[in-house]
Amino acid sequence: MRLFFSIAALLMLFPLAAIGADQELKVGDDAPDFKMKGSDGKTYQLSDFKGKQAFVIAWFPKAFTSG
């Protein structure tokens, strides 16, 4: 059952790969403006940080544990 849901979730994500496919980036291009929700619940937009120094820390605590 777990395998079924994993495969189903993966298949549902494939159409998302086509979104924005026409915006092929090359090395040195500016990143497209996007929005993301932070762990604090606020929405952040890339353009909000233009001209500012930003430091991003991202990790997944359970990546190397059994839990």
The predicted pLDDT at position 43 comes to 94
pTM for the full predicted model: 0.43
Q: How far apart are CA 33 and CA 53, in angstroms?
A: 16
Q: Looking at residue 59, what is its pLDDT?
A: 77
Interstrand relation of 35-37 and 43-45 (parallel, antiparallel or unpaired): antiparallel
Q: How many domains does the chain have?
A: 1
User: What is the extent of the structural domain holding 37?
Assistant: 2-64
Looking at residue 11, its pLDDT comes to 72
pLDDT 10s digits, 4-61? 777 877 777 766 665 655 668 889 988 888 899 988 999 999 898 888 887 878 777 7
